[in-house]
């Protein structure tokens, strides 16, 4: 399929590149109504901004929730009247109720895992980078792409609404294991809040599938001339596998959720068996609560990689660009991505070692889980070799990419403990797990995202973000993340369970009170530092320093060959042809230290 085809855009037709090149840029906004240009837009660039800004709003809400429950964990004997202003009766007199504490941790997890680090991360960067970097005027189906955002938006509205229902939002943990989540008698949050959670997640799956199918078909079909698969930047490879993971695993979550809806509302017994609750025995017999966990983690584990892979891709790109060196082991990077993607589907039951499953089955999952360490190690060593003997520019994006590698190492190594069932049996569901996954898929993925935002902000808005604020943001966030999550490992090793409202009655855990208070204080500081980033982001959109050079970082990839303010269709005139791989950071013979992908090979020059 040619990329030169006409793009249909709302009620107005915008011309493809070959019809009237000059119209592509400059005149288009006169023709389009505001609603079609900025709201129900089919332009991948606008949709990516919509995902990003929605994601930022969700991230602030989700992080604020963590501040509230960290106050409870750090200072269980104090009251904070300001919380009552935010939470009303849920924090009467300034003290969280246990019900709402559980609702907060559930929502914090759901929001950050799905709404921020899935939709906000791959929604933003897949939309922004795939058409740009493969050399396409837009996605394979811009209309589906628009739907993808609006399904996400609808899911967001439902989830947000659930925060305000009388019995509170879902409160059974972000994994919402039945029977706790299936029975209204089991907890307040299993009432209307849980119904809204389920509906919201169902819409979210739809959004994710519409987006994912689009990303896959765009990468496979819409590459410009000369852009073979082996000339794709690693960001595209990573986003491609992210989409593959999502498309293959989200439907399984969907089926799990549908069965849960049936159990909750229509009297089926998929997950329920032999339960006595609320003073009476329920009629359900024969279901298995563990079935849900299999269905959930069949998505839940690939989900971790859905969150991680975009960060890996962007870190690769940013590290290479700012070291002025090619990424080391381009093919090894792709092969390790393939390895991670395949293994991601085969390890889900390592979340379930202590559910009473067969020890033999457990041993298979141990083996497969620890195998993931191999491709992960390859990636880390390749990143380290990439910066070796480079000429490193410490842009904020580069700092976050370096931070990403550091956190990925730290969090990955603790995974070796948890993936080994013999060690997991003690560490399971303790703070060790909390520390592990927050470092490796929470903070680390956020660092990948920040690297991406700082790096591609000039492309998105034609302005720079403020560097000094970026540096402050990086150092406080990086040090703060370690200060928050490092001590949690110690608590977990001592066996301190996660998701507790108060530890003061426990002889084995109460001596960690001091460290919990410390963690809470750091968490609050880090939270406000993120607001600094938000301020920097929004003020830079309007008041940031203007871009004068369309390729400010001296990068080789195609997105920097577009104008500073590209119209719908990205390139004025022909889409450029690609002649080389995306990491030719070497002397071009004219005093530049990079050769764009669009430069033909010099006579006698060998392709990578």
Residues of span 16-35 touching another protein by CB under 8 A: none
Task: Take residue 25 and report the two structure tokens written for it.
Answer: 């840029």
Report the site for another protein in 323-352 (rule: CB under 8 A).
323-332
User: Does 184 engage in binding with another protein (CB under 8 A)?
Assistant: no
Q: What is the CA radius of gyration of the chain?
A: 25
Pick from 213, 338, 423, 517: which binds another protein (CB under 8 A)?
423
Answer yes or no whether residue 362 interacts with another protein by CB under 8 A. yes
Q: Which helix (H) or strand (E) holds 7?
A: strand 7-9
Q: How far is CA 217 from CA 70, 221, 332, 404, 435, in A?
A: 43, 6, 24, 29, 37
Return d(Cα 450, Cα 311) in angstroms, integer: 9
Is residue 268 at the binding interface for another protein, with CB under 8 A as the rule?
no
Which of 154, 338, 370, 517 forms a contact with another protein (CB under 8 A)? 370
Stretch that binds another protein, among 51-59, 229-237, 354-362, 437-445 (CB under 8 A): 354-362
Q: Look at the block and give the residue holding tokens 């009303």.
A: 88
**SS3 call for 9:** strand
Of 5, 88, 274, 549, which one interacts with another protein (CB under 8 A)?
A: 274
Rounded-to-integer distance, Cα 339 and Cα 249, Å: 16
583 binds another protein (CB under 8 A): yes
Among residues 13, 35, 220, 384, which is the contact residue for another protein, using CB under 8 A? 384
Quick check: 277 binds another protein (CB under 8 A)?
yes
Stretch that binds another protein, among 32-40, 147-155, 269-277, 310-318 (CB under 8 A): 269-277
Among 186, 209, 234, 397, binds another protein (CB under 8 A): 186
* From 111-119, 357-365, 453-461, 564-572, span contacting another protein (CB under 8 A): 357-365
Q: Which of residues 80-119 bind another protein (CB under 8 A)?
A: 81-82, 85, 97-99, 102
Least Å distance, CB 428 to another protein, is 5
Question: Which CB sits closer to another protein, 242 or 382?
Answer: 382
Question: Contacts with another protein in 474-513 (CB under 8 A)?
Answer: 475, 478-479, 482, 486-487, 490, 493-495, 497, 499-508, 511
| Choice between 184 and 255, CB closer to another protein | 184
Which 155-174 positions form the footprint of another protein (CB under 8 A)? 171-173
Q: Which long-range contacts (CB under 8 A, 24 or more apart) does 436-439 make?
A: 436/411, 436/489, 437/304, 437/411, 438/411, 438/484, 438/485, 438/488, 439/407, 439/410, 439/411, 439/414, 439/481, 439/485
What does the DSSP 8-state code read for residue 185? T
Q: Tell the smallest beta-carbon distance from residue 520 to another protein (Å).
A: 16
Q: Kindly state whether residue 374 participates in binding another protein, applying the rule CB under 8 A.
A: yes
Which residue is associated with the tokens 């017994």?
Answer: 269
Q: Which positions ≥6 away from 458 have C-beta within 8 Å? A: 464, 547, 552, 553
Q: By CB under 8 A, what part of segment 426-485 binds another protein?
A: 426, 428-430, 466-469, 471-472, 475, 478-479, 482
Tokens for 167, please give them.
Answer: 């019995």
Give the phi and the psi of residue 7 in degrees, each rounded to 5: -105, 125
Within 526-565, the residues that bind another protein by CB under 8 A are 528, 531-532, 535-536, 539, 545
Alpha carbon distance 483, 316 (integer Å): 26
How many chain residues touch another protein (CB under 8 A)? 133
Minimum Å distance from CB 406 to another protein?
A: 6
Candidates 24-32, 142-150, 308-316, 418-426: pick the segment binding another protein (CB under 8 A).
418-426
Q: Parallel, antiparallel, or unpaired: how do β-strands 12-14 and 276-277 relate?
A: unpaired
Name residues contacting another protein, limited to 196-255 (CB under 8 A). Answer: none
Encoding tokens for residue 65? 């929730």
Among 289, 521, 547, 572, binds another protein (CB under 8 A): 289
Provide, rounded to whole angstroms, the least separation between the CB of residue 430 and another protein. Answer: 7
Q: Which is nearer to another protein, 34 or 360 (CB)?
A: 360
Q: Would you count residue 410 as binding another protein (CB under 8 A)?
A: yes
Is the distance from CB of 435 to CB of 488 less than 8 angstroms?
Answer: yes
**And the tokens for 342?**
């395949």
Asked whether the beta carbons of 246 and 346 are under 8 A apart, the reply is no
Please state, in angstroms and rounded to a whole number, the distance separating the CA atoms of residues 228 and 45: 23
CB of 531 to another protein, least distance (A): 7
When asked if residue 587 is in the footprint of another protein (CB under 8 A), the reply is yes
How many angstroms separate the CA atoms of 483 and 62, rounded? 20
Write the DSSP assignment of 300-357 as a string of letters: HHHHHHHHHHHHHHHHHHHHHHHHTSPPTTHHHHHHHHHHHHHHHTT-GGGG-TTTT-
Q: Closest approach of Cβ 327 to another protein, in Å?
A: 8
Q: Which two tokens stand for residue 192?
A: 């209307």
């Amino acid at each position: 399929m040619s990329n030169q085809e006409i793009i249909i855009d709302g009620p107005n037709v915008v011309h493809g590149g070959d019809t009237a090149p000059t119209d592509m840029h400059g005149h288009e906004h006169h023709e389009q109504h505001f609603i079609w240009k900025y709201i129900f837009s089919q332009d991948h660039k606008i949709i990516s901004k919509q995902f990003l800004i929605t994601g930022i709003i969700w991230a602030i809400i989700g992080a604020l929730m963590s501040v509230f429950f960290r106050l409870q964990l750090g200072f269980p004997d104090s009251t904070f009247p300001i919380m009552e202003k935010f939470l009303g009766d849920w924090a009467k007199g300034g003290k969280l109720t246990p019900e709402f504490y559980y609702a907060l941790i559930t929502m914090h997890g759901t929001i950050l895992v799905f709404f921020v680090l899935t939709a906000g991360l791959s929604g933003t960067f897949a939309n922004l980078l795939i058409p740009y970097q493969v050399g396409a005027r837009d996605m394979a189906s811009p209309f589906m792409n628009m739907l993808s955002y609006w399904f996400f938006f609808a899911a967001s509205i439902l989830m947000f609404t659930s925060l305000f229902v009388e019995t509170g939002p879902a409160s059974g943990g972000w994994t919402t294991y039945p029977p706790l989540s299936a029975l209204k008698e089991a907890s307040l949050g299993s009432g209307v809040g849980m119904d809204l959670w389920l509906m919201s997640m169902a819409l979210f799956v739809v959004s994710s599938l519409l987006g994912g199918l689009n990303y896959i078909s765009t990468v496979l079909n819409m590459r410009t001339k000369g852009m073979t698969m082996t000339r794709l930047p690693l960001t595209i490879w990573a986003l491609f596998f992210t989409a593959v993971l999502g498309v293959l695993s989200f439907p399984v979550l969907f089926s799990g959720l549908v069965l849960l809806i049936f159990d909750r509302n229509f009297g089926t017994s998929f997950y329920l068996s032999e339960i006595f609750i609320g003073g009476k025995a329920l009629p359900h017999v024969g279901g298995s609560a563990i079935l849900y966990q299999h269905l959930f983690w069949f998505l839940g584990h690939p989900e971790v990689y859905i969150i991680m892979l975009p960060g890996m891709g962007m870190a690769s790109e940013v590290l290479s660009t700012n070291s002025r060196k090619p990424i080391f082991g381009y093919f090894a990077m792709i092969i390790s991505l393939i390895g991670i993607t395949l293994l991601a589907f085969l390890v889900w039951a390592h979340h379930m070692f202590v559910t009473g499953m067969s020890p033999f089955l457990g041993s298979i999952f141990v083996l497969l889980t620890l195998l993931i360490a191999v491709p992960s190690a390859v990636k880390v060593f390749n990143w380290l070799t990439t910066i070796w003997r480079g000429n490193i520019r410490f842009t904020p994006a580069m700092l976050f990419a370096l931070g990403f590698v550091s956190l990925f190492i730290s969090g990955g190594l603790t995974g070796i403990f948890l993936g080994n069932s013999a060690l997991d049996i003690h560490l399971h569901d303790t703070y060790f797990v909390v520390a592990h996954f927050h470092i490796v898929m929470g903070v680390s993925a956020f660092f990948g995202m920040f690297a991406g935002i700082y790096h591609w902000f000039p492309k998105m808005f034609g302005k720079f973000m403020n560097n000094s604020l970026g540096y402050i943001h990086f150092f406080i966030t990086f040090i703060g993340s370690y200060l928050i999550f490092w001590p949690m490992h110690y608590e977990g090793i001592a066996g301190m369970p996660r998701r507790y409202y108060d530890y003061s009655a426990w002889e084995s855990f109460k001596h960690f009170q001091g460290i919990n208070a410390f963690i809470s204080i750091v968490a609050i500081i880090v939270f406000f530092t993120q607001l600094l980033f938000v301020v920097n982001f929004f003020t830079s959109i309007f008041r940031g320093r203007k871009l004068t050079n369309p390729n400010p970082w001296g990068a080789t990839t195609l997105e920097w060959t577009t104008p500073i303010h590209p119209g719908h269709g990205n390139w004025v005139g022909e889409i450029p042809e690609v002649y080389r791989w995306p990491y030719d950071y070497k002397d071009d013979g004219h005093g530049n230290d990079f050769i764009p992908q669009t430069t033909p090979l010099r006579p006698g020059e060998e392709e990578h």
